Amino acid sequence: MSITISSPKYVNVILPLAVPKNYTYKVPSSMCGDIEFGKRVEVPLRNRAYSAIIVETMNEVNVNYKAKDIRAVIDKEPIITERQYDLWKWMAKYYCCTVGEVMMVALPSGLKLTSETKLIISPDFDEDYSDFDEMEYLIAEAISIQNELTIDQVKDITDRKVVYPYIRKLLDRRVLYIKEELRSKYKPKQITVVALSDSYQDTEASINVAFERIGKSELQHKALLSFYKLYRQQNEVSKAALMELSGVSSAVIKGLEKKGILDIYKKEISRLTITDVINEAVMPPLSTQQIDAIATIKEAWEEKETCLIHGITGSGKTRVYMELMQEYLGKGKQVLYLLPEIALTSQIVNRLEAVFGDRIVLYHSRLNQHERVEIWNAVLHEAKILVGARSSLLLPYRNIGLIIVDEEHDGSYKQHDPSPRYNARDTASVIASQFGAKVLLGSATPSLESYFNAKLGKYGLTELRQRHSKVA
């Protein structure tokens, strides 16, 4: 644990670079009162500026170079915790990389700034400058006129060396965006939807006219009958569902569009949209098998940090997870529920949100830079349930009590590029050790190493061998 000095003369910082050591900078007397572990500061390095994180404060240093001055303190409050920094150091050592590389992977883009970072005006900004100070106005107006500027260019235009604090405020207020973040690899999920054209809305007369226009086409007749059947069950009919029910090809449905009976169009849908959510947020009763499994897990946790639940598909592992999550929430602890791919597990997310409601925070690839920063800050202020993929482990937890690694055998828990090339399952154990928390690994087909550790007695082990009639 680092010791914070009340009026430090020097600080050691982590730079967002693959450098083998931390760098030392001098603290100007005017900034001494703002210096604190975990805050970002603007520092110069080789004719460039970076936002670095303070990890140590000192009154004396022994370095063979003249320490440069910090240019500005960016944050009012620390953005990382000391336990988080300890985790970064462990990851750097264990996975053979630098702490700066871990920092680059862990921090959201909105918290990483360099002199070459490109800034653009948010498309949602309404050009209301009324509550801006002079420097904020100059920066926002310059970027608006030029379309995009690097931080170095902002410094040149404003003739100011220190601009990071102003840029942070504009990012927080969603006036600016970091351009790199907008070039997202995320592609929205789309479905092809089939609807009645305006001329053939659902009245008896229009239905008769539609069938008359089809004439003797047996396949189109079959397709239209299937459409009306689906249309009466749901508001929107997907092309895939219509083809499956009717057994006709895409060309047949296209023929109905050419005749002006149906409209076909693309619709973007969320991978996590909650539909048909249970109104009553009450978990289904536990089966005898699930009750026994929970008892075994708790017994194992008395001596061991990690327990493996080996349950066949449909045995109700999720219901066991939810029961234990409820208990740890009752203790005032944070819970992390790791999933292999957040975009492919909407069914599980729906169940969790039906039970836990707005206590759940989702952390996934579709979030923009502002949402990622908001979640980062929410976790710092002890948001209770985090549901997400591998990178959720790197959020700044303060009081975590339970980590669930669902489908622990899945290969996506291993990061291959860039560094650190970490395994989320193993890293979860390190975080649990830091907080005195517990880890629950779950799978119908456990990884060889987890099952071996369980049989060896290093992990606890419980098994669900029977399918549950009302799976949760």
pLDDT of residue 434: 96
CATH architecture of 10-111: 3-Layer(aba) Sandwich (3.40)
pLDDT of residue 182: 35
pLDDT of residue 49: 85
CA 460 – CA 9 distance, rounded (Å):
50
pLDDT of residue 273: 37
| Model confidence pLDDT, tens digit, residues 135-177 | 999 999 899 888 889 888 998 888 888 888 899 889 888 888 8
Assign 437 to helix, strand or coil. coil
For the cut 80, the answer to whether the pLDDT of residue 334 exceeds it is yes
pLDDT of residue 453: 95
| Model confidence pLDDT, tens digit, residues 380-417 | 988 899 999 999 999 999 999 999 999 999 998 999 88
Reported as a pLDDT band with limits 50, 70 and 90, residue 3 is low
Residues ≥6 apart with Cβ < 8 Å to 206: 199, 200
For the cut 90, the answer to whether the pLDDT of residue 293 exceeds it is yes
- Tokens 């029910």 label which residue? 245
238 phi/psi in degrees, rounded to 5:
-80, 150
| Model confidence pLDDT, tens digit, residues 49-61 | 889 999 999 988 8
Q: pTM of the full predicted structure? A: 0.70
For the cut 50, the answer to whether the pLDDT of residue 108 exceeds it is yes
Q: For residue 468, how many C-alpha atoms fall within 13 Å in the half-sphere facing its CB?
A: 22
Percent of the chain, pLDDT > 70? 90
pLDDT of residue 41: 94
- Residue 114 has which token pair? 């360099």
pLDDT of residue 53: 96
For the cut 80, the answer to whether the pLDDT of residue 189 exceeds it is no
| Model confidence pLDDT, tens digit, residues 304-326 | 999 999 999 888 898 999 999 99
Burial class (CB in 10 A: 0-12, 13-18, 19+), 415: middle
For the cut 60, the answer to whether the pLDDT of residue 183 exceeds it is no
Reported as a pLDDT band with limits 50, 70 and 90, residue 106 is very high
CA 119 – CA 378 distance, rounded (Å):
25
Reported as a pLDDT band with limits 50, 70 and 90, residue 43 is very high
Largest Cα separation within the chain, whole Å, is 93
The mean per-residue pLDDT over the stretch 4-17 comes to 83
> Residue 423 pairs with which residues in a beta bridge?
414
288-464: CATH class: alpha beta
Domain assignments of the chain as residue spans, ordered by start: 10-111, 118-182, 189-269, 288-464
- Residue 69 has which token pair? 């001055």
- Span of 76-90, 151-165, 236-250, 347-361 with lowest mean pLDDT: 347-361
